[in-house]
Structure 1
């Protein structure tokens, strides 16, 4: 039995069952949909269909950070049980939640001086941070101690690549990621932006591609360019999507045909309520390992 806990946030966009099977603890974010408060708890408080249908009908979804007190309540039982903690935060380029985790860490390490809490800025989001958590679980299961694991993730987290496209820009416009004028022109021309997460963990528009078929080809081409060992890529690949499963399946099939040596099939997950509140329906994200991300 390991003397430490691997921990993450609900924004890893995997499933409750997956995390339980891998022995990974998690904490959920609060959010508000149509004026009602919920917890991001892997579709227990609200169903996947209800959430995205409400957004499609125009319901406003507001997200909030996990505060320091909530982190303390979450971390303390592990420490009382004699466990150290390695916790992976949603990217600081997206949220300031890491500051809350660090405040909780400082307070609890004074209360439990014999214990260690390692807080990691994942510089990742959605099932990208989920893919990173899975690698940490693999290394833990291979016998790596918590300090070595912390050093490994700090050295290697930028090797995780994120590429996204969206066929519905209205929620990107609402969130200020795309201007109204650009969104209007893009909608008229049928442009689907291709975005990625940069080395600072920020979501950056990279290309404007006309037509869904073309952007699907383009996102797989990015994997051809940046995946470790190119077409001989032998690691795992994850896809997440927001209410566009058919698009996600098509991208997954293309990836599997293009990279015949994948470690298993492409694993496909739902984009959860927190990331989904900002993307809305119609987003597909592709995650894989490669050389360190650059600007």
Structure 2
């Protein structure tokens, strides 16, 4: 049987992971001297509540190779078991490298470790496809080959409500953050091929939603369901979804609350969308 394993930066809730038959391995989130297992001891609402009052930004620690060895060993209980692992891009964490080290300790087993090139809700379209193929009886090799092909087409955009946390994290200078806040500038972050960049700066939420909706309408492969995220902001999420629906004709989407890996830079109030493009963006 093919076992699908992801890390907690995918922001898939435990209950949904259990329903899908997906194993989620948690990273560690550290606020000062306190450590929490991402998505286990520290859920999104609790994370953002603590983020709002902390002096120093929290840090995340990658999953160790030892933890992965234990997870892989349990997943390979039967001799015919295989593993397909989808992990946060190596450009944002060493978790993928840890999984590779663990894989190499089981040289005779079929373990396919994939650098997703994305993170957070950008992983969800890939996870959904992997689950579908597993349920249809595909082998681990077939699933891995398909995900390697599709990952080049994943694009993630997220609009920030505040510049405070991006500045704290060193993504933008303090002067730019102060001026941007006074002018109600909303930066739009784009993640593709593991790279995080500020793609565009606009004035106000509606302009940000307009830009992301128009880009999605031009790029989105409508045979795949998009993934929408929000950071503890139901009203902004509703407004954003209405804009996506009116521009793209979107009728269904997956929604997950934003977790620590991107939330540490976005802060609360962020909304975003990830989807598969019709053509690779390279």
Q: TM-score, normalised by structure 1?
A: 0.89
Aligned to 1:271: 258
Q: 1:47/1:93 Cα in 2 relative to 1: closer, same or farther (>3 Å)? A: closer
Instruction: Report matched runs for 1:1-295 at 5 Å.
Output: 3-41=1-39, 44-59=40-55, 60-82=57-79, 83-109=81-107, 113=108, 115-198=109-192, 200-228=193-221, 233-260=222-249, 262=250, 265-294=252-281
Distance 1:49 1:25 in 2: 22
Secondary structure of the 1:80 match is coil
Distance 1:213 1:275 in 2: 22
1:11-67 deviation per Cα after TM superposition (whole angstroms, max 9, x unaligned): 1112212221111111011111243111012xx423433321221123541111111
CA RMSD of aligned residues (A): 1.7
Q: 1:48/1:156 Cα in 2 relative to 1: closer, same or farther (>3 Å)? A: closer
Q: Which of structure 1's runs of 4+ aligned residues deviate more than 6 A?
A: none
| Contact 1:256–1:266 under 8 Å retained in 2 | no
Distance 2:243 2:150 in 1: 27
Aligned length: 280
| Contact 2:125–2:276 under 8 Å retained in 1 | no
1:147-190 deviation per Cα after TM superposition (whole angstroms, max 9, x unaligned): 11111111111112211110111111111111222222211211
Q: TM-score, normalised by structure 2?
A: 0.93
Unaligned runs of 5+ in 2: none
Distance 1:99 1:48 in 2: 26
Please state how far the C-alpha of 1:76 moved relative to its aligned partner: 0.9
Secondary structure of the 1:207 match is strand
Unaligned runs of 5+ in 1: none
